[in-house]
Structure 1
Amino acid sequence: MQANVLIIGSLNMDLVAQAERLPRAGETLLGQSFATVPGGKGANQAVAAARLGGQVAMIGCVGADAYGQALRQALVDEGIDCQGVREAEDVATGIAMIVVDASSQNAIVIVAGGNGQLESTDIERFDSLLQAADVVVCQLEIPYPVVAFALQRAHEAGKTVILNPAPVTGPLPSQWLGWIDYLIPNETEAQAMTGLAVNSAAEAEQAASLLREAGAGKIIVTLGERGVLFADGVQSRHSPGRKVQAVDTTAAGDTFVGGFAAALARGLDESQAITFGQAAAALSVTRAGAQPSIPTLAQVEQVLS
């Protein structure tokens, strides 16, 4: 299989509880429902790219357990090349414990498990997947040295390189920025990287300017219902969000990133790819769950027609 999008990242089983509100410290709440749902930022973005028109491969690591088998099978069922998803012995598959409240906001705790066992040698072993890709996408739910290796290798191979810096807690290593074609943080991640509050398009533009000064190229700040801010040093453009009734925002950012990557790989220009990613993300928040909420290419094209 020739993949035109390669995702290097995390696979988690999401343990999702619905409650009227998020619990306070030390508080026990009565929940309304519970489900186990395939997730992880890497896997979510791989599913999004596959459903939204990309030929997709993934490199990642799960534990040798039932959750790992289920996550891998979920990707295979989407037509994703999973030869690069390794099973690690003596470690559990990564999990995310997610509480979603009545207003669709969520709180998440992640345990890395197998994701923390991914190594640069895994990327070297499956270099053919990287060479076959047009677009390479990374996140930060795997070890930083592996992310750095992947970004540099993809850049040197002439690929379009996307980094979704989630979950970031501070400035990125400066040497990474020159390897990244599109840096795609949300408001919280942009704030963590710059120290600036990001609660509006204007504040996102200020954060993007700081990231540009630090060496970043093209920046796309996702702002949820407020839309997307694009900046490349030549122009800064705000694309308003689509008005929808949100049910669960869990995978909205991943859907945008996967949709944007797939659109670039299919030959759309960056402005068209942003519009496409926004439409896909808007559809995703109208449905519950991470991967179950991600729409198909046909569904997004119908919205855009």
Structure 2
Amino acid sequence: MPDSIAVIGSNMIDLVTYVERMPNRGETLEAPRFQQGFGGKGANQAVAAARLGATVAMITCVGDDGFGHQTRENLERNGVDVSHLRMVKGAVSGVAPIFVEPDGENAILIVKGANVHLSPDDVAAAATTLAACDAILLQLEVPLETVYAAVAFGAENGVTTILNPAPANRDLDLSQLAGLDWFCPNESELAALSGMPADTDAGVVEAARTLIAQGIRNVVVTLGGRGARLVTTEEVHVIDPVPVDPVDTTGAGDAFIGSFARFLSGGATPLDALNLAARYAAHSITGHGTQSSYADGAAFDTFCRDHDV
């Protein structure tokens, strides 16, 4: 099955409040706008890949509440296979209160809810689907043992594995990631996980190579307005940012990762896939919301033409 991606990860209901400024402790402010949407790093990345034409299956857990049913319906509406979505009896679904300032910057809280129930058994139950995929895409909003099981499955079955280590978890055992094909942190996650400063280009490269020395094949570091860096044992490649006027940066990192997985599984070279992903992420911050800001293939093609890509 061409361009086939399995996403093993989280889903959330985004509760987005647009604020003039963040309140101080003990202060109550009136906010001009509220929006409910669908999020969670896994679901976001799945939807981005699906909107760009990939065949996507989601392995995830939801609560047996209204949000859980809405999440299933949203994934189906976006063309994501939910055969391996498990509804956990008595659990609440994950939620993410998000606060967005006028310049597009955001602050996010997450309540994992049913996402904590996603287990290695769910990975095993989806083995036939996973073995037929071009890539397995992972994040850290689910239990670490589930991530380790998926990385091991990919290595054993010759399936490309991509891990976005977000949110950063200092308990992540890098020795369990030996054989991982793509490790995709942002600079703060890289610093936290490597224990090294990553606030300069030289620091990014040095920190990334400590991870490569532990068996990770490629490291892609996203740097916000500075673009991204692809670091291998011998090479460093700069992925330039695409200048746009930001409206809401929520979900931009997920847009980058999900689209990278789609372009890579579709046969693009790693550098081409990363440059396209940078453009897809740039497009996402020109609209409000998370998944609601993700372009389909036609809209993305128009954006690329408008930006001389």
Question: Residues of 1 paired with 2:126 and 2:24: CA distance?
Answer: 44
Identify the residue that residue 287 of structure 1 maps to in structure 2. 287
Instruction: Tell me, yes or no, if the aligned pair for 2:95 and 2:112 is still in contact at 8 Å.
Output: yes
Identify the residue that residue 121 of structure 1 maps to in structure 2. 121
Identify the residue that residue 101 of structure 1 maps to in structure 2. 101
Query: Residues 210, 78 of structure 1: CA spacing in aligned structure 2 closer, same or farther, 3 A cutoff?
Result: same
Instruction: Tell me, yes or no, if the aligned pair for 1:15 and 1:36 is still in contact at 8 Å.
Output: yes
Instruction: Tell me, yes or no, if the aligned pair for 2:51 and 2:78 is still in contact at 8 Å.
Output: yes
Instruction: Tell me, yes or no, if the aligned pair for 2:161 and 2:180 is still in contact at 8 Å.
Output: yes
Shift, 1:23, TM fit: 2.8
Question: Residues of 1 paired with 2:65 and 2:21: CA distance?
Answer: 32
- CA-based RMSD: 1.6
Identify the residue that residue 72 of structure 2 maps to in structure 1. 72
Is 1:14 paired with 2:3? no
| Secondary structure, counterpart of 1:110 in structure 2 | coil
Shift, 1:150, TM fit: 1.1
Identify the residue that residue 197 of structure 1 maps to in structure 2. 197
Structure 1: state its 5+ residue gaps.
Answer: none
Identify the residue that residue 29 of structure 2 maps to in structure 1. 29
Letter in 2 for 1:281: A
Question: Residues of 2 paired with 1:85 and 1:70: CA distance?
Answer: 12
Structure 1 stretch displaced more, 147-156 or 20-29: 20-29
Letter in 2 for 1:160: T
Percent of aligned positions with the same letter in both sequences?
A: 39
Shift, 1:146, TM fit: 0.9
Shift, 1:276, TM fit: 1.0
Question: Residues of 1 paired with 2:199 and 2:149: CA distance?
Answer: 33
Instruction: Tell me, yes or no, if the aligned pair for 2:104 and 2:248 is still in contact at 8 Å.
Output: yes
- Deviating beyond 6 angstroms after TM superposition, the runs of 4 or more aligned structure 1 residues are none
Identify the residue that residue 110 of structure 1 maps to in structure 2. 110
Q: 1:1-305 counterparts in 2 under 5 A?
A: 4-170=4-170, 172-305=172-305
Instruction: Tell me, yes or no, if the aligned pair for 1:191 and 1:198 is still in contact at 8 Å.
Output: yes
Shift, 1:149, TM fit: 0.8
Q: TM-score, normalised by structure 1?
A: 0.95
Instruction: Tell me, yes or no, if the aligned pair for 1:60 and 1:85 is still in contact at 8 Å.
Output: yes
Q: TM-score, normalised by structure 2?
A: 0.94
Instruction: Tell me, yes or no, if the aligned pair for 1:136 and 1:161 is still in contact at 8 Å.
Output: yes
- What do residues 235-275 of structure 1 show as CA deviations (whole Å, max 9, x unaligned)? 01112211000111111110111100000111111011001
Shift, 1:93, TM fit: 0.4
Query: Residues 213, 2 of structure 1: CA spacing in aligned structure 2 closer, same or farther, 3 A cutoff?
Result: closer
Letter in 2 for 1:44: N
